[in-house]
Structure 1
């Protein structure tokens, strides 16, 4: 009987040691996990903070665009026979990316003016109604000027003044 009591006591001691060992193991794993999460967060913070500063420091300031003035144009708009003749007066400016393109485009300005005049004479007054009409006009003029000055590129055609009479 003494052996069974000793066996029971040693078994009880082992049962108490097993939960204590499991509890310590869980505590160690939890502590390692918390340290890993905090370390990863701190490392990520410093990485992205310094990485963002490097990108901002490397970006050069953008160059301001250059502009080319187009001579004022006055054209009569297309209309039905017997209708009152309406006129369109337009002042335009071309926007290009840099000053080098200005010198390359200037010799082509007579061609650009001719393309604009022939296109504008085909328009009807209803084509210019509203902001959508002016947007379509701007896009069409940009497309035509880019075809005329091709290897160079015009970013936009800007309206300085547009009057329909």
Structure 2
């Protein structure tokens, strides 16, 4: 055996040992870390879906949902500002309120609410109420005015039943 043969054998043994070290790192990841991550992910998924713990709380929350209460305002018929020919706006509005007790407050504050609505609606021009974007701006402004008229606010939404511009 020559010294070259011994060196070749030593290099092959060193290559085999380093290959085992590289393989052992991959084995560690594949057989230990990856299954742990999968189990943790599955556990979080089961917990978040409500199958594990918190199932009764979710059921109680569904029962705590209150039915909406609606309050119809009188119909509005106003002339719109702008140049001739004269345009009119006819509106039927329903308010969604927090509870039945809020209806009593609305009855008491009705003159103030109607005044705020009339003042705003009479300043509108026909192009202000065109399209869904225009109606959204009208809805937001009416909501702002009613919340200013009644403190603390009891109206959660304004619903248009009918809007006619003539």
**Bin for the TM-score computed over the shorter chain:** 0.7 to 0.9
Q: Which moved more, 1:92-101 or 1:115-124?
A: 92-101
2:130 corresponds to 1:133: no
1:93 CA displacement = 0.7
| 1:88–1:162 Cα contact (<8 Å) kept | yes
Aligned to 1:107: 108
Q: Distance in 2 between matches of 1:144 and 1:106?
A: 16
Q: Distance in 2 between matches of 1:29 and 1:126?
A: 71
Give the root-mean-square deviation of aligned CA atoms. 3.2
1:27 CA displacement = 3.0
Cα distance change of structure 1 residues 12 and 106 upon mapping to structure 2, 3 Å threshold: same
When normalised by structure 2's length, the TM-score is 0.73
1:153 CA displacement = 4.0
2:37 aligned to which of 17, 34, 40: 40
When normalised by structure 1's length, the TM-score is 0.73
Q: Distance in 2 between matches of 1:21 and 1:122?
A: 88
1:11 CA displacement = 7.1
**SS across alignment from 2:157:** strand
Task: Give 5+ residue unaligned stretches, structure 1.
Answer: none
2:32 corresponds to 1:29: no
Cα distance change of structure 1 residues 17 and 97 upon mapping to structure 2, 3 Å threshold: same
1:117 CA displacement = 1.6
Cα distance change of structure 1 residues 19 and 137 upon mapping to structure 2, 3 Å threshold: closer
1:146 CA displacement = 0.9
1:41 CA displacement = 1.9
Note the 1:5-154 alignment, pairs <5 A: 17-35=13-31, 36-53=33-50, 57=55, 58-59=57-58, 60-61=61-62, 62-80=65-83, 83-154=84-155
Task: Give 5+ residue unaligned stretches, structure 2.
Answer: none
Q: Distance in 2 between matches of 1:56 and 1:114?
A: 49
Q: Distance in 2 between matches of 1:10 and 1:38?
A: 43
**SS across alignment from 2:94:** strand
- The structure with the largest alpha-carbon Rg is 1
Q: Which moved more, 1:10-19 or 1:123-132?
A: 10-19
What whole-Å deviation, never above 9, does each CA across 1:98-140 have from its counterpart, x for those lacking one?
4454444332222111211222223233333333332222221
